[in-house]
Structure 1
Amino acid sequence: MGANSSSPEGLAKVREQTRPREATPFRLLTVRIMRARNLQKADIFTESDCYVCLWLPTASSEKVRTKTVPNTKDPVWNQAFCYRIDSRVKNILNLKICDEDTFTKDDHLYTVLFDLAKLQTGQTSRVSFKLNPETHEELDVEFTLQCIPDHPENIITNGVLVARELSCLEVMVDIKKLKQLYTKGDLTFTIQGSYEETQKIPLAPDSSLSNIHVIQFHCIKNHQSNLEITLPKKVQLSILGLFKDDSESNTSVVLPLNELPIEETITLGEDRTFDLHVKTKDWPKDLDVRLGYDLCAEEQNFLNKRRKYVAAALEKVLQLQEGLQDDEVPVVAIMTTGGGTRSFTAMYGSLLGLQELNLLDCITYITGLSGTTWAMGNLYEDADWSQKYMEEAINKAQKQVSKSKFNSLCMDKLKYYYNELKQRTEEGHNTSFIDLWGLVVESMFHDEKDNHTLSDQRAALSKGQNPLPIYLAINLKDNYSAQDYKEWLEFTPYEMGSFKYGAYIGSEDFGSEYFMGRLMKTLPESRICFLEGMWSSIFSLDFMFFWNLANNSEDFWHRWTRDKIEEIDDSVPPSRPHELETHIVTSQGQLSSSLRDVLTGRPTIAEYPNFLRGFQFHNEYYENEHFSTWKKDTVLDNLPNQLMETAEHPLSLVEAGFFINTSYPPLLRPQRKVDLILHLNYSGGPQIFNLDRFSPYTSKLGIPFPKTEFSEEDRKHQKECYVFEDTDNVAAPVVLFFPLTNDTFRKYKEPGVERSPTDTEGDVDVCSWLSPYTTKEVTFSEENFHKMIKLTRYNILNNENKIVEALRVAMKRRKQKEL
């Protein structure tokens, strides 16, 4: 296991064996906290009583600290701390300067974040951190970095995330004597940074329980860790020795793992109160998280099969004289937006129109969020849905949309919800109001329990017979708005994961527990309704979402809701691109913290175990070309410790519409090579609003995407279809934008067929506040349902020429890409 980080003496033997071997990635780091100068008062009447807390999470989960130097603005510590580090990972040392208070919480003055990759092996460097140039506050630290003999460890990395080896620590405990001393309470074992973290053994006398207990901890192989053993409060006075004698607190002992006798019995307490027997072994379990930016093998296999359907459809629609070669077949996608029952209904009409034009088999991908995920979930229950005329699916959808939704809240349904949530909890899943919402969605669009899961949809892809569905969500972080912190997650029937980190798991294992890329605890796959509730989680809104909608800017609130993080001078500038600048974090104060909680607080959120838990970052992650595409999506991307800390917490998932109401991002992955996107817009209100936001977003990230410019007339009165193309960049997809509008539908019931003077079916109010299709409406009359179906179908049919021409352009661009 690891070495003791709290003192250089704990690594004396390692230091003696050190030999300069540049091939080894392991280094011995000594950090000597020297002194600080001109620290400003944190207290009103006295000078500060300062100490420095050190945290290096890539080497140790333990936080250590210097002594407190009382009543001075120029404290001198001169204390050293040692770590064994792996140079292949990004090691950022946190140095937190605090003022110790007796009766109140210690004051946080500054935190320095220093990239250890700046240090040169074999050298001692004295670094002076300029905490505040205006007040001349400084912190002096001395670093010594030395090679140490290799500790064999194989890592697995995709250039961004690093999976390290694990060890399994087994602890056998004889608690016979303890059970005689304690009538209640637990014997608690803790290893910070391990998968298990804490395990408890009940001490209450019970003849049915064995006196011998065996527990396991899975730990990072070369981490510096401690085993902490804690007895209940009010210990017997006879238990002395290693234990802290304090009758008002838990009695505990801390044992560095590297000092534990392995395969020997350890007796704790002067009167031999209980025995431990410890052994450790490597845990060579293969990685269960797929690390890589390529498409998974299942999706690539699907594309090979789907390409035959697409090629045959294109040859027919475009009346080609010769068959298409595989590298000539363009990738066409449908991108839908959210909008509750409105988008659920409208999607059926659009798909019907494409099917009638023989264009549905030209589609390779369909992406969705919010209400369109409800429609996709229903469609993919039928393994051959796109090969059948859609009238039957539409009739089924109409019955569900038009039925009364009051039954969703009747007593029988409430009992059903309770039992389902209870069962879900018993299975090990976290439950929240979002899960209840998922059950309500199921009730609104099904007459009975729907047992389908996301992985069940693989049957609809087995022959390439349907487009591949991709569902979208975003992961948020506490105390951050979606503008400041968001990470896109995609869900397909094959896998779910993050295209920013290049990390994926099987869709059937979403919700199970992972550590360092290994599957540790398998939970039953969630039914599709629970995912649909999360993909459309309108109940997780915060104040900043509404502010951004109204002002399209959060600048006014940034002073209150953002961490105060700045680059500072440390006299050691980066010499290589992957070395990060030194940053300083300054305390925001209680008022800012409270206001931030109010502005970013969310009533409820869908929480799932984080499959990224335990991963560390590669030393050069920040310059990785795949990560770089999305690294501007969060204010923490150049602060890997904070990202690692986030991965330790559950995923906090909400629908993608919390940022922008589109499902574009999965289609812009370069690996999918999408040539043409049909943007089917079903949002309410101004139809151009979200496209106006998404186009600058892609420009900011440097993602190939055409400019979407509209004239003033188009902004006032939208047509049915707009074509956007970047003629200078074949990597940018062609976009056909279909607003939800009845531009000519009010005059024509079919393309070229005028309505009679008495035909008022074309008067469809889709966007006003009085519209029967507002997002809050969950039930449409049968008449309004069919009006929406006919409108969105007509808008597709009436733009056949534009779609066909866009397909020709996509084929041409595909050939240019392949050259």
Structure 2
Amino acid sequence: MYWLWGSVGSLDAHLTKPGWSSDVYFATGLQKEEKAAVNKRSSKVLEALQKLNIQADQAPVIAVLGSGGGLRAHIACLGVLSEMKELGLLDAVTYLAGVSGSTWALSSFYNNNGNMEGMEEELKQRYEENRWHFGENLEKAIQASKKKNYSLTDFWAYLVVSRQTRELQNSNLSSIKKHVEEGLLPYPIFAAIDGDLQPDWRTRKTRKSWFEFTPHHAGYPAIGAYVPITQFGSRFKNGKLVRSEPEGDLNYLRGLWGSAIADREEIKKFICGEYLRVTQGPEPRDILSAPRSAAGAAAYMGAPETQVDEVLLDLMMAFLKDQNDPSIKDKLQALQQVLGAERDVFGEQKYFWLIEAVQNWNEISPKEKEQFLEYLLYCFMRTKALPLGPRSRATNWIGSNITDEAMQSREFLHLVDAGLAINTPYPLVLPPAREAHLILSFDFSAGDPLETVRTTADYCQRYGIPFPQVREDQLKEWAKAPESCYILRGETGPVVMHFTLFNKNNCGDDIDTWRKKYETMKPSCFYTPELVADLLRVSRENVRINKDNILSEMRKVAGKTGNLPRMNKEDFLGYSVQNVQSSRTVEIKISNNTDIIFKEPLHYLRSGHLLVDPPPVLSPKSTISCSFVKKSSSFQGTVGMLIYQGPSVHLALLFSIPFNYALHRIKFALAIITEPVSRDLESVFDDIIQGNGSPEQKVAKYELQLPQGTLKLEHDSFIIRATMSNIHVAKMDVVVETKAV
């Protein structure tokens, strides 16, 4: 559950661009790898929409979200993805995001390159054949126990989550990026939250609680602090990588993402029960006074921890592979030596029983050896591997960019299941992280299926994030007998389609019966192929019966491309500026009231960086927005140029927002470029500023002395008007109009 450890100093002097190094870095807006993947995906989305008879000039951002819910969510989410794929809907999706059990499904989906063919039969076979290799999973747990940042999460991942899903995924998150970068699959986001910030979440719904994993990075989107995903778990100091650790596999991450039920004592009880089922069924035998009940098991494991050497784990592994392995006796003798110094903690009676077993190993019957294995399992439950990993404190974890002691003063990050905050990853597809236009949220939660909507609406209201308003009395009424889908929309922000797993459309009056049949803590050994098939059926049915509704909402958002409902930019920019301690932001809005298509935007920055990307196309009768901001560690302002290219002429917008308003004024300029923009953009910028462009080039400049000013520039067929202001943030509001004949 740990990302960074060691004394980490200020990052302010070590900001790096994503993908350029292995250091910790700050990034506002989408990172370049994700941006490139989403751009590639946009063309695939447009193709998919066309196949669905939906016309769009610009691809809307459609996100599919899966909630938590353990194994129930895992299976149901796979059913949803399978049905969406079959109906051609999944190809129109830009983002897939999940919490807890849904992350298990998403990792399976991406690990299989998005191929859902035969998924249902393969899934049922896993549970019919009780397909799970205890020895292989135990070996992975043993390997993990040798790492310095080993914790209960490793144990939970390899010996519980893998057993629940009947799946061992040895690949890692970065390995799935090929199909994502080519735009063949939606961009995946796996959610977690910072466990140490949970009190802040409960009291204030603080945004910095949320943590995300993608095939490219891991970090806090609200504060823009990230590491490359390949370095998650490595050691950093002063923002620099000082010791690289191998990237963890998907098994470990699935354990981290799906740890909502991972209360320490509950995990111990659950693991103990699972181990006993592995060897003997639901009731334990009497082994050296070992407890028979779950409560007894918890009491036993609450005893003082013994300092058992790793040889115990090696012994278990050897025993499971071959009870007649001649090296077992040597390992037993090594274990005897290790425990000899701790016999007062371990117990005299048990210690002498171990000595007797070592001396008479070759004469012990197979049944007695089996009992001995069970005893070793109990010992394993009590070794030093079980406690949560260390969480000592150090200074300046993030550094001076984040004025928050909790974020600065920790040696370790304590990441847990995001379902402990909101059981659906809405915050990761809403501003300031991203901005989806249509959200398909599939709820697989236990209990109230509208709770995630309620919590998200509260979260968004606190921060001024556009989200459909919901009434409490309405949510309570819906929860009594939920429909399969609710369509929520507001004046701005995304349209939300919220799907409930068990509803009156697919379960009739037996909703409670279905919920009890698929309880969150239900062990996988009780999942029959029939139970799996039924759960897949109802989850697929929710998509199928709402296909027309989904297509209708896709058609609506596609028809608004270029003028899609968006978050108020002042709120968004104000939030971003506050969190990266940057000012000198410039927001540009362009309204195209002509019939000309401007596209392929280019930008040049002498200082500062891009905050909100310019859309790839400025369509006729549409409005777009983008923004730029100064670098947080720089004593320079924001200076640069944005160009939109037309068929024969190109629009250039120049801006200079100084660092020190006392010494310099804000400056803007407009230019119409008639020659191809193929030269170095820095030279284009300098030529416009210095008046060295071609005779056909038209330029208008303005130095802002009052809070607001205007510019006007004419071409043969159109007029450009710009209003500049410095109220709250520097703005350039540009309108391109057809010239009156």
TM-score by length of 2: 0.53
Q: 1:332 to 1:649 in 2, by over 3 A?
A: same
Partner residue, 1:340: 70
Letter in 1 for 2:259: S
- Corresponding residue for residue 576 of structure 2: none
Given candidates 497, 510, 523, the residue that maps to 2:245 is: 523
Q: Which runs of 5+ in 1 are unaligned?
A: 1-60, 62-88, 90-154, 156-160, 166-284, 544-602, 622-638, 748-761
Q: Distance in 1 between matches of 2:393 and 2:25?
A: 14
**Contact 1:515–1:613 (Cα < 8 Å) also in 2:** no
1:121-160 superposed matches below 5 A? none
Give the superposition deviation at 1:518: 0.9
Partner-residue secondary structure (3-state), 1:508:
helix
Distance change (3 Å), C-alpha of 1:310 and 1:610: farther
Distance 1:800 1:776 in 2: 31
Offset at residue 538 of structure 1 (A):
3.2
User: Which residue of the partner structure matches residue 41 of structure 2?
Assistant: 306
Deviation at 1:683, TM superposition (A): 0.5
> 1:424 & 1:808 partners in 2: Cα distance?
49
Partner of 1:790: 537
2:122 corresponds to which of 396, 401, 406: 396
Cα distance in 2, alignment partners of residues 610 and 810 from structure 1: 48
Deviations 1:104-140 (A, max 9, x none): xxxxxxxxxxxxxxxxxxxxxxxxxxxxxxxxxxxxx
Q: CA RMSD in A?
A: 3.3
When residues 777 and 690 of structure 1 are mapped into structure 2, their CA distance, relative to the original with a 3 A threshold, is farther
User: Is 1:353 paired with 2:83?
Assistant: yes
Instruction: Please say if 1:687 is aligned against 2:449.
Output: yes
Q: What is the alpha-carbon distance in structure 1 between the residues aligned to residue 392 and residue 48 of structure 2?
A: 42
Q: Report the CA distance between 1:460 and its aligned residue.
A: 2.7
State the partner residue of 1:201. none
TM-score relative to the length of structure 1:
0.48
**2:234 paired residue number:** 512
Q: Which residue of 1 aligns with 2:189?
A: 470
Q: Secondary structure at the match of 2:211?
A: strand
1:667 and 2:429 aligned: yes
List gaps (5 residues or longer) in structure 2: 1-6, 266-385, 565-621, 624-741
Pick the aligned partner of 1:734 from 472, 495, 499: 495
Q: 1:646-661, aligned counterparts within 5 Å?
A: 648-661=410-423
Against the structure 1 CA distance between its residues 491 and 611, is the aligned structure 2 distance closer, same or farther, given a 3 Å change threshold? farther
Q: Are 2:166 and 1:451 aligned?
A: no
| Shift in alpha-carbon separation, 1:466–1:286, aligned structure 2, 3 A | closer
Specify the alignment match of 2:12 in structure 1: 162
The structure-2 alpha-carbon separation of the partners of 1:440 and 1:765, relative to structure 1 and needing over 3 Å to count, comes to: farther
Query: Alpha-carbon deviations, 1:261-309, whole Å to 9, x = none?
Result: xxxxxxxxxxxxxxxxxxxxxxxx9772231112121111111211111
Contact 1:764-1:787 at 8 Å conserved across structures: no
Q: Look up the SS of the partner of 2:48 in the other structure.
A: helix
Matches within 5 A, 1:167-566: 288-320=23-55, 324-325=56-57, 328-383=58-113, 385=114, 388=115, 390-404=116-130, 412=135, 416-417=137-138, 419-426=139-146, 428-441=147-160, 443-444=162-163, 449-477=168-196, 480=199, 483-484=202-203, 487-541=209-263
CA distance in 1, matches of 2:559, 2:178: 33
- Is it true that 1:722 corresponds to 2:486 in the alignment? yes
Cα offset, 1:614, TM superposition: 4.2
CA distance 1:334–1:609, change in 2 (3 Å): farther
Count of aligned positions: 430
> Identity rate of aligned residues, in percent?
29
Q: Relative to structure 2, which stretch is displaced further, 609-618 or 674-683?
A: 609-618
- Give the aligned residue type for 1:523: E
Deviation at 1:537, TM superposition (A): 1.2
| 1:127 aligned residue | none
Contact 1:720 1:740 in 2 (8 A): yes
Alpha-carbon distance in 1 for matches of 2:198, 2:442: 33
After TM superposition, the structure 1 = structure 2 runs for residues 557-596 of structure 1, keeping only pairs within 5 Å, are: none
Change (3 A) 1:483 1:695: same
Task: Name 1:771's counterpart in structure 2.
Answer: 517
1:625 corresponds to: none
Q: 1:609 Cα shift?
A: 10
Q: Is the 8 A contact 2:71 2:164 kept in 1?
A: no
Q: Give how far 1:608 is off.
A: 8.9
Return the offset for 1:403: 4.6
Distance 1:497 1:716 in 2: 38
Offset, 1:443: 3.5
Q: Which residue of 2 aligns with 1:800?
A: 547
In the other structure, the counterpart of 1:112 is none
- Give the 3-state SS of the residue equivalent to 1:525 in structure 2: coil
Could you tell me whether the CA contact under 8 Å between 2:34 and 2:216 is conserved in 1? Answer: yes
Deviations 1:218-243 (A, max 9, x none): xxxxxxxxxxxxxxxxxxxxxxxxxx
Cα offsets for 1:347-401 (capped at 9, x unmatched): 1221122123211101111111211111111111122x2xx4x241222222234
Identify, as 1 or 2, the structure richer in helix: 2
Instruction: Give the whole-Å Cα distance in 1 for the aligned partners of 2:88 and 2:96.
Output: 16
Task: Determine the C-alpha separation between the residues in 1 that align with 2:21 and 2:172.
Answer: 26
Task: Tell me what 1:743 maps to.
Answer: 504
Contact (CA 8 Å) 2:222, 2:433: kept in 1 or not? no
1:707 aligns with 2:469: yes
> Helix, strand or coil: the match of 1:790?
helix
Q: Which whole-Å CA distance do the structure 2 matches of 1:465 and 1:353 have between them?
A: 18
Counterpart amino acid of residue 303 in structure 1: V
Task: Say if 2:168 and 2:251, in contact at 8 Å, map to a contact too.
Answer: no
Could you tell me how far apart the structure 2 residues matched to 1:791 and 1:607 are? 43
| Deviations, residues 531-585 of structure 1 (Å, cap 9, x unaligned) | 1101111354499xxxxxxxxxxxxxxxxxxxxxxxxxxxxxxxxxxxxxxxxxx
CA distance in 2, matches of 1:364, 1:694: 21
Change (3 A) 1:611 1:795: farther
Q: Which residue of 2 aligns with 1:615?
A: 398
* Partners of 1:740 and 1:766 within 8 A in 2: no
1:607–1:652 CA contact under 8 A, matched in 2: no
Note if contact 1:442-1:449 (Cα within 8 Å) is conserved in structure 2.
no
More strand by share: 1
Q: Are the aligned partners of 1:337 and 1:680 in contact in 2 as well (CA < 8 Å)?
A: yes
Cα separation, partners in 2 of 1:611 and 1:745, compared to 1, 3 Å: farther
1:537 is paired with a residue whose SS is coil
- What pairs with 1:622-661 in structure 2 (closer than 5 Å)? 640-645=404-409, 648-661=410-423
Change (3 A) 1:287 1:466: closer
Distance 2:399 2:68 in 1: 35
Distance change in 2, residues 1:726/1:702 (3 Å): same
Which of 561, 571, 576 does residue 814 from structure 1 map onto? Answer: 561
Residue aligned with 2:91, SS? helix
* Secondary structure in structure 1 of the residue aligned to 2:506: coil
